[in-house]
């Protein structure tokens, strides 16, 4: 299978291509839901890694709307490479700075290098650390993967935790129940930036990286709890411990 294209860092963050795509998509997304963002004053300047919970297949679009129109930054996602093989979409995604990642079978050295280059250039990379839609029965964030923490440690850049709630009412978790409503509010809440000491992540053990990632995921869960006016669980859902697959639609009947 041929490699998918990895984007190059543009000289300017908000390129003409990005502006054109945003101007076309924003009105369409506004017909699906009404995004409200709070905590914008907490955002740092320059490059940072924005991490959030993953509820619905619409999450990347909802977050992109918030990042671009409310946070005034151009979001660059680490997205599954399958999307880059879809006709037209696969051509467009690299044009607007989206980065393909492989879930299994191949290394991600080149995608991670691209993500580092975007961050070094002072831009924003968006990651859903869970790596897939949450499998938690109550839709709380799951345990996360360590990629975002590794990037933050190696580059000495902050991780900004964020949470959203409400998009699952428009497109439910792991289903095709699509209910667009321009009057339905999807809330995005930004937390305080998290700073880790800059160092070579290779010097850290898996246990240390998992612990740091757990701290980030609990910050996200706390923000989700504030949006839901509920207390998040102390222990994050782990698909492996529940006998669930790491990828794919686990609700689909075989």
Give per-residue pLDDT as tens, 102-140. 766 566 788 889 999 999 999 999 999 998 999 999 999
Per-residue model confidence (pLDDT) at position 254 = 46
Inform me whether the pLDDT recorded for 162 exceeds 90.
Answer: yes
Determine the angle formed by the axes of helices 109-120 and 147-155, rounding to 10 degrees.
50
* Cβ 114 vs Cβ 151: under 8 Å: no
pLDDT of the residue at 242: 85
Task: Please give the domain boundaries of the chain with CATH numbers for all domains.
Answer: 38-242 (3.40.1130.10)
- Residue with token string 């937390």: 191
State yes or no: pLDDT of 22 exceeds 80. yes
φ, ψ for residue 185 (rounded to 5)?
Answer: -90, 130
Residue 249 zone, left/alpha/beta (φ > 0; ψ -120 to 50; rest):
beta
Parallel, antiparallel or unpaired: strands 159-165 and 124-127: unpaired
- Please state, in angstroms and rounded to a whole number, the distance separating the CA atoms of residues 55 and 127: 13
d(CA 51, CA 46) in angstroms, rounded, equals 16
User: Which range is least confidently modeled, 69-73, 96-100, 234-238?
Assistant: 96-100
Instruction: With a cut of 90, say whether residue 225 has pLDDT above it.
Output: yes
With beta carbons less than 8 A apart as the criterion, state whether 18 and 97 touch.
yes
The H helix count followed by the E strand count for the chain is 6, 7
Higher pLDDT: 49 or 247? It is: 49
Mean pLDDT over residues 164-186, rounded?
95
pLDDT of residue 106: 62
């Amino acid at each position: 299978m041929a490699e998918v294209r990895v984007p190059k860092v543009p000289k300017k963050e908000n390129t003409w291509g990005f502006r054109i795509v945003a101007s076309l998509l924003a009105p369409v997304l506004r017909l699906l839901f009404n995004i409200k963002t709070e905590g914008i004053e907490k955002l740092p300047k320059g490059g940072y890694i924005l991490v959030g919970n993953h509820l619905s297949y619409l999450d990347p679009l909802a977050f992109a709307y918030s990042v671009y129109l409310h946070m005034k930054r151009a979001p660059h996602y680490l997205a599954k490479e399958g999307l880059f093989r879809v006709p037209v979409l696969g051509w467009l995604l690299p044009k607007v700075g989206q980065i393909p990642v492989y879930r299994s079978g191949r290394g991600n050295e080149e995608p991670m290098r691209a993500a580092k280059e975007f961050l070094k250039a002072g831009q924003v990379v968006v990651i859903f650390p869970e790596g897939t839609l949450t499998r938690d029965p109550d839709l709380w964030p799951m345990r996360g993967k360590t990629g975002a923490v590794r990037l933050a440690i190696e580059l000495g850049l902050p991780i900004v935790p964020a949470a959203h709630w409400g998009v699952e009412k428009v497109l439910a978790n792991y289903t095709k129940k699509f209910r667009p409503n321009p009057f339905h509010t999807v809330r995005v809440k930004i937390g305080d930036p998290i700073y880790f000491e800059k160092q070579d992540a290779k010097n850290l053990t898996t246990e240390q990286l998992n612990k740091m990632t757990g701290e980030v995921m609990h910050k996200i869960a706390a923000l989700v709890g504030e949006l839901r006016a509920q207390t998040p669980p102390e222990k994050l859902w782990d698909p492996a411990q529940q006998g669930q697959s790491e990828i794919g639609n686990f609700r689909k009947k075989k």
